[in-house]
Chains A and B, each alone.
Chain A
Amino acid sequence: MLEILQKIYDMTAFGELVESPQSLIMIALAFLLLYLGIKKQFEPLLLVPIAFGVLIANFPGGGMGVIGADGDGMVHFMKDGKMVARAVYEMSLPEIAHDMGIMNFLYYALIKSGLLPPIIFMGVGALTDFGPMLRNLKLAIFGAGAQFGIFAVLLVACNFFTMKEAASLAIIGGADGPTAIFTTIKLAPHLLGPIAIAAYSYMALVPVIVPLVVKLTCSKKELMINMKEQDKKYPSKSEFKNMQALKIIFPIATTTVVALIVPDAVALVGMLMFGNLIKEIGNSTSRIFDAASNAIMNSATIFLGLCVGATMTTEAFLNLQTIGIVCGGFLAFGFSIFGGIMLVKIINLFSKKKINPLIGATGLSAVPMASRVANDIALKYDPRNHVLNYCMSSNVSGVIGSAVAAGILIKFLG
């Protein structure tokens, strides 16, 4: 009888949980993330799959945690009660599924191969309207200013991390989840879990971080600059006789320009623009637009979230590096907003037509949340000052800017 009870006990996860109680910390973290995603609505489409991935990966014996490869591409796992070391890139996918479990199969097939981030970018492109950017083209330059955080934090982080790790951390400043994941897969895949969590957490905290940086750096007078009044004072010379044609040609032209200058960014920018192109063409591509923006995007999001969550095992997450990533990510995010605001201030020094610094603050990605937050701030100071359309220009160009920055980091360090 006692033997049967012992077998039942061994069958459950309780024994291993007692032996390695640190798993409980990760399970608690999963519960916290689930709470934030479900109750607080912090990016629920991503946070809920990530949190659930963390949860299922950290129950001992479940075999759902992702086993990361070391620098030599070796993975260590238990097989027939023995610890085995194998070169993961020499293993076939069925072998990975058999020896390391289904989550590792998904991770190595979909994430480690770099497949899902560009797929998600295609969906993002299908949901993005470049119209506001084309109507306010000059404001698109703030999408470059707001990449400052990436390179500023790289300067700091390279003193504590390797260059590849520092670059993966710094890309959090681009405020773009798929870009952060894509860069990390290429440069420091062992940090994928904490970097993805930090990137998405800070994106969810845009309504807190943007107002904080704006409050620290902008005066009331600057925040009250009314863009529509400025437009009336200094009207733009551009007129649009065929916006539809412009919107169709723009993604093709942008892809060509980026592909020629930063080929490493094409995987992201190219897919972003492809998604946008099939949206803008209209009826004749509506079926694939529908697939890209719904079925494919949603499936990719589910698998990305679950796999990223499953990389957050006790060994990979509970260490000093993770604390460094969380702090560094916050700095990168803050510096990016700061960089955009400072660029506006510099331009305002020399230009008659003044620009509201909130438009610089939205130069980081996080579309469209950053623009909405900036618009709310502007309305607080002047209820007639709607800056949403202007912010969307820098916000959308920030997506291109962060993808280009990622391409440069991959080119130089990959």
Chain B
Amino acid sequence: MDCQNLPEALRLMVVGMTTVFSVLLIIIGFGKTLIWAVNKYLPEEEQPKQQARPAAQAAVVSTDVAQAIAKAVEQLTGGKGKVEKIEKI
């Protein structure tokens, strides 16, 4: 067992943990600033309220399923796509 490296390892521990904490704290702070800046300068345009669907379409799938499909399309297309009609084939 050779203890001569211990002081260097201790120093690395202090420097290492401090740096890791600092970097993540900065990322957290930066993230919060980003959220604020994006909310202020790049807010997503409000989606126009969807018109009431015809009764025939409402009967095709339940509201929950329609919402899930709309959410999936929104996520896949990055908010660009919209569900206009759901049909059972």
Contacts and interface: CB of A to CB of B under 8 A. Distances in A.
A252 B5 CA distance: 38
A249 B9 CA distance: 37
Given A155-B10, A283-B78, A409-B12, A140 B39 contact: no
Contacts of A155: 6, 9-10, 13
Contacts of B32: 137, 238
A242 B12 contact: no
B17 A147 contact: yes
B43 to A, nearest CB: 4
Interface residues of B, number: 37
Given A155-B13, A245-B42, A401 B31 contact: no
A163 B24 contact: no
Given A138-B28, A238-B35, A401 B20 contact: yes
Interface in B7-57: 8-10, 12-13, 15-17, 19-28, 30-32, 34-35, 38-39, 42-44
Interface string A380-414: 00000000000000000100110011001100110
- For the complex, would chain B's binding face be called helix, strand, loop or mixed by DSSP majority? helix
Contacts of A137: 28, 31-32, 35
A69 B54 CA distance: 74
A241 B27 contact: no
A147 B12 contact: no
The range of chain A's interface size is 35 or more
Contacts of B5: 158-159, 162-163, 166
Contacts of B38: 241-242, 245-246, 249
B24 A154 contact: no
A390 to B, nearest CB: 15
B2 interface: yes
B42 A141 contact: no
A134 to B, nearest CB: 6
Interface in A116-164: 134, 137-138, 140-141, 143-144, 147-148, 150-152, 154-155, 158-160, 162-163
B16 to A, nearest CB: 5
Contact of B15 (A244, A249, A397, A412): A412
A257 interface: yes
A227 interface: no
B1 to A, nearest CB: 5
- Chief secondary structure at chain A's binding surface: helix
Nearest to B1: A159
A154 B9 contact: yes
B35 A140 contact: no
A404 B23 contact: yes
Contacts of A150: 16
A318 interface: no
Contacts of A401: 20, 23-24
B89 interface: no
B36 to A, nearest CB: 9
Contact of A408 (B1, B19, B31): B19
B39 A257 contact: no
B3 interface: yes
Nearest to B74: A244
B34 A144 contact: no
A254 interface: yes
A241 B39 contact: yes
Contacts of B12: 151, 154, 167, 408-409, 412-413
Interface in A211-254: 238-242, 244-246, 249-250, 253-254
A137 B19 CA distance: 18
Contacts of B31: 134, 137, 140, 250, 253
Nearest to A148: B17
Given A148-B17, A159-B1, A405-B20, A240 B39 contact: yes
Given A158-B9, A262-B23, A405-B20, A244 B34 contact: no
Contacts of A134: 31, 35
Nearest to A412: B12
Contacts of B34: 246, 249-250, 253
A11 interface: no
29 contacts: A134-B35, A137-B28, A137-B35, A140-B24, A140-B27, A151-B12, A151-B16, A155-B13, A158-B6, A158-B8, A159-B1, A159-B2, A239-B39, A240-B35, A241-B44, A245-B42, A246-B34, A254-B27, A257-B23, A257-B30, A261-B19, A397-B24, A400-B23, A401-B23, A405-B16, A405-B20, A408-B20, A409-B16, A412-B15
